[in-house]
Amino acid sequence: MSRILLVEDDADVRLAVEHVLLDEGYEVDAAGNCQQGRAFLDAQPYDLLLTDGRLPDGTGIELADDAAHDGVPALIITGYAFMLRGLVPDLSRYRILLKPLRPAEIVEAVAGMLDQAVKT
């Protein structure tokens, strides 16, 4: 069973995405900001990081870069892709989903990322 770290500051979105993933059989830990997300990343291994692009104390890009050091792929969800472009010149190295998200879209993206990670 794959373990996913979900980092999302909007409690309603976090809860909804967490339930979608739990219903698909994934193990999920959820955090509301970068500091909490880093604490989870430091405490145990994950198969995937699913993070909001904008967080109250940093960005999902920063978390994705931290996770990449441990070989953890990241999927960034955001409603502000245009703002991320200003922070990161090369967004092509990240998989990004735009909000609002549909449950099927989340499931498909997560499964694809996990399948890709297994193949590499």
* Tens-place pLDDT, residues 41-73: 999 999 999 999 889 999 888 899 899 899 999
Are the C-beta atoms of residues 97 and 48 closer than 8 Å to each other? Answer: no
The pLDDT tens digits of the residues spanning 95-108 come to: 888 888 899 999 99
Q: Which fold has domain 3-119?
A: Rossmann fold (3.40.50)
Backbone angles phi, psi at 3, to 5 degrees: -105, 130
pTM: 0.89
Q: In terms of Cα–Cα distance, which of 68, 111, 112 is closest to 88?
A: 68
User: Which pLDDT value is given to residue 109?
Assistant: 94
